[in-house]
Chains A and B, each alone.
Chain A
Amino acid sequence: MDLKDLYRDVILDHNKRPRNFGRLDPPAHSAAGHNPLCGDKLTVYAIMDGDVICDLRFDGTGCAISVASASLMTEAIKGKTRAEAEHLYAAIHDLLTRADAPSPPELGKLAALGGVREFPARVKCASLCWHTLHAALQGAAAPVTTE
């Protein structure tokens, strides 16, 4: 395991300068996610135009992996349809958990999260925002937790 594999430059950059950081007021969809083990708390806000996620933001506090993952997610998802978002959600899940997972080209910069797989204690950090996005799109009311 190499730390530079976990903390790749793109991760460090998105941690330091998170994109699409901030809140969106209703009627934006939102959901809160919480990782009780480390205290990470994120809220994801999405504005839908029909089936298209036309704006996506997040706020909260977390470690570099969770903040960078959320930042990268907002960049990747903005402008995508609900179905495309769910497809990426599944691809990210595979990337984070399956050693033999292919890294499909549509992941783009998200492939930088591939190093997290070697650090099992940190997988929840990277996946929190994705579960939270999923909940926001589903309109789930209860906060998402990684536990």
Chain B
Amino acid sequence: MNRATLADPPLDVARLRADFPILAQTINGRPLVYLDNGASSQRPRAVIDAERRYAEEMHANVHRGVHTLSQRATDAFEAARERVRRFINARSIREVVFTRGTTESINLVANSFLRPRLKPGDEILISWLEHHANIVPWQMACEATGAVLKVAPINRQGELDLDAFQALLSDRTKLVATAHVSNALGTVMPVREIVTLAHARGVPVLLDGAQAVPHFALDMQALDCDFYAFSGHKLYGPDGIGVLYGRESLLEAMPPWQGGGDMILSVSFTGTTYNQLPFKFEAGTPHMSGAVGLAAAIDYVDGIGLGRIAAWERMLLDYASERLSAIDGLTVIGTAKDKASLVSFVLDGVHPHDIGTILDQQGVAIRTGHHCAMPAIEFFGVPATARASFAFYNTREEIDVLVDAVTAARDMFR
């Protein structure tokens, strides 16, 4: 979705790279080639400055004091919420809950939305390629209630088997939860079809958008999912801040998850009146500087344009796929037709962990292991993969460095 067109002007990557202070360094004597953006992306100066400005000029606790700083902090925090709302085209700020990240967003839904509704024999439907954050919270809900976790299969390309998915939807299905983009394989999931099929049976849908948000423009109203979770630190923003989008009618009916300050209107020992949305789900002092930084990251990304970012990343993906595939003994894991800009691969005779160390000596940072998606990786009969994941600040020259380093690793183990 949201593929760029040829009319999009190309990115001035050299200029954009200068916005990222961390990229201008050497690692083990070589220029840093940062290809671990799927795990966490880097922050532009605009985000770092926004967080610092918040700390230097605005910080106090939000939603509490009558003093000027508290009002300033509240204004900044709520402006960040409105910025997120606009970015994802939610109907209202009442649908935008700040969390610590994707994982906490999913756990909020598991605990507040799902658990109270689950009865023994009820089902939750996920897919085979999910991140552990979109598996374990549902397993925990199942253990607590006697519900059953159902898993829709994928094919050898790493694409969802949509027919099997549809067949697994039943009257017992209480929630569908899938990735928007697979972190381990790069697969872009057919989320519109998933939402349509689930809604046809009256089943709400949660999408794990952690890997999608940096690559696509999002529109909650067009997507029509019921919950959408993502993190700031994969969107060039700070760590420790994330978002749960929830359909207002569902959030309204859900009990709070965590209790504390900020999520109440009044408290007495005979009872407590909960705050309105979205504050009902934000117990305790929130990550205010994180929210401000996230808003700055969204401004930054929107300033470049997600269409242009997608076009550049598509070029990087095509180039990396072509060059890596040409390495003798290398197999790409995850070859879906619609992929985000990452390449997972294995190399005959060289364990991914060794690839990771050898590449690091060349200044190249990649992720190695099971990517917190053990079922997806084991589906391909390998214990681990190496994964290079690209951002708009990466270049063809960096992919050349990657390819040379992988080739050197292969030769070392021959």
A interface residues with partner B (beta carbon < 8 Å): 1, 3, 6-7, 12, 15-16, 37-41, 61-65, 67, 119, 121-122, 125
- CB-based contact A39/B413 at 8 Å: no
Q: Which chain A residue has the least Cβ–Cβ distance from B361?
A: A3
Q: With A and B bound together, what is the CA distance between A119 and B358 in angstroms?
A: 11
Q: Contacts of B368 on A, CB cut-off 8 Å?
A: 38
- CB-based contact B412/A38 at 8 Å: no
A39–chain B nearest beta-carbon distance, Å: 5
Q: Determine if B357 is an interface residue (Cβ-Cβ < 8 Å).
A: yes
- CB-based contact A121/B383 at 8 Å: no
- CB-based contact B361/A1 at 8 Å: yes
Q: Contacts of B358 on A, CB cut-off 8 Å?
A: 3, 7
Q: With A and B bound together, what is the CA distance between A1 and B361 in angstroms?
A: 8
- CB-based contact A121/B357 at 8 Å: yes
Q: Contacts of A67 on B, CB cut-off 8 Å?
A: 351
- CB-based contact A7/B412 at 8 Å: yes
B75–chain A nearest beta-carbon distance, Å: 42
Q: Determine if B50 is an interface residue (Cβ-Cβ < 8 Å).
A: no
B362–chain A nearest beta-carbon distance, Å: 9
Q: Contacts of B28 on A, CB cut-off 8 Å?
A: 1
Interface size class of B (residues with CB under 8 A): 10 to 19
Residue from B351, B361, B384, B412 in contact with A12 in the complex, judged by beta carbons closer than 8 Å:
B412
Please judge, given known A-B contacts A12-B413, A64-B351, A64-B413, whether A39 and B384 are in contact too, CB under 8 Å: yes
- CB-based contact B412/A125 at 8 Å: no
Q: Contacts of B350 on A, CB cut-off 8 Å?
A: 64
Q: Contacts of B412 on A, CB cut-off 8 Å?
A: 3, 7, 12
- With A15-B413, A41-B383 given, can you name 12 additional A-B contacts, CB distance below 8 Å? A1-B28, A7-B354, A12-B412, A16-B413, A39-B383, A39-B384, A40-B353, A40-B383, A62-B353, A64-B350, A64-B351, A64-B354
Q: With A and B bound together, what is the CA distance between A37 and B349 in angstroms?
A: 20
Q: Contacts of B352 on A, CB cut-off 8 Å?
A: 38, 63
Interface of B (DSSP majority class)? mixed
- CB-based contact A119/B353 at 8 Å: no
- CB-based contact B353/A125 at 8 Å: yes
- CB-based contact A63/B353 at 8 Å: yes
Q: Contacts of A16 on B, CB cut-off 8 Å?
A: 349, 413
Q: Determine if B247 is an interface residue (Cβ-Cβ < 8 Å).
A: no
Q: Determine if B234 is an interface residue (Cβ-Cβ < 8 Å).
A: no
Q: With A and B bound together, what is the CA distance between A16 and B348 in angstroms?
A: 11
- CB-based contact A38/B413 at 8 Å: no
Q: Which chain B residue has the least Cβ–Cβ distance from A61?
A: B383
Please judge, given known A-B contacts A61-B383, A125-B353, whether A38 and B369 are in contact too, CB under 8 Å: yes
Q: With A and B bound together, what is the CA distance between A111 and B357 in angstroms?
A: 20
Q: With A and B bound together, what is the CA distance between A39 and B184 in angstroms?
A: 14
Q: With A and B bound together, what is the CA distance between A20 and B380 in angstroms?
A: 28
Q: Contacts of A15 on B, CB cut-off 8 Å?
A: 413
Q: Contacts of B353 on A, CB cut-off 8 Å?
A: 38, 40, 62-63, 65, 122, 125
List 5 contacting pairs A-B, 8 Å CB cutoff, sorted by A: A6-B357, A7-B412, A38-B353, A39-B374, A125-B353
B379–chain A nearest beta-carbon distance, Å: 14
Residue from B349, B351, B370, B413 in contact with A62 in the complex, judged by beta carbons closer than 8 Å:
B351
Q: With A and B bound together, what is the CA distance between A3 and B352 in angstroms?
A: 15
Q: Which chain A residue has the least Cβ–Cβ distance from B368?
A: A38
Q: With A and B bound together, what is the CA distance between A1 and B358 in angstroms?
A: 11
Q: Contacts of B354 on A, CB cut-off 8 Å?
A: 7, 63-65
Q: With A and B bound together, what is the CA distance between A37 and B370 in angstroms?
A: 8
Q: Which chain B residue has the least Cβ–Cβ distance from A35?
A: B353
CB interface residues, B 359-378, toward A, < 8 Å: 361, 368-370, 374
